[in-house]
Structure 1
């Protein structure tokens, strides 16, 4: 992602310089070539624009670094909590399985007890 942003910024600079050079080519006439002061002024303006763009880029880089340094601990904490929740969920699932097994055993025992009571009653009647 950082490489993409750097490449994007570099492409913007190249685009800016190409546009500037294209404008210079179309604006040049014999009078414009004769005026070195105008060319120097344009070069100075371009250099200032370049410096401004670079400063803006560096400001953005600093903001991103700051945001990342703030977000990283939050991401780590979220991951830790996720791990804790995952373990708790697994423990609850295990308890659920044990309780379901106990329920099935209790139901079987109840059925057996009912059958035993029924059989006892029949034996007593005879």
Structure 2
């Protein structure tokens, strides 16, 4: 079934493990694990050096990822954007975590992801 036709719970059953891996891999600054669910397009725009810089920057200013709370899934014809409220260990307030999932060759892949 097309991801955009699934319920929020079904989308989250796909999105949460992928986002958990992305956050764990960025905490560990593990490039190969971080990009394992990326589309070819997204892999081409994030170098190992850029990921390391991003991770060291957020870890030194905000700390590490804390609680994440689902906000909404935005369904599109070719993708689903999932949005969460995101906390950090050393920075008060809420941030936004978002991920765009696409389906390619029977796999769900990340075509965009950001925490801001």
- TM-score normalised over the length of structure 1: 0.24
- Greater strand share, structure number: 2
Larger Rg: 1
Which of structures 1 and 2 has the larger relative contact order (alpha carbons within 8 angstroms, sep 6+)?
2
- TM-score normalised over the length of structure 2: 0.25
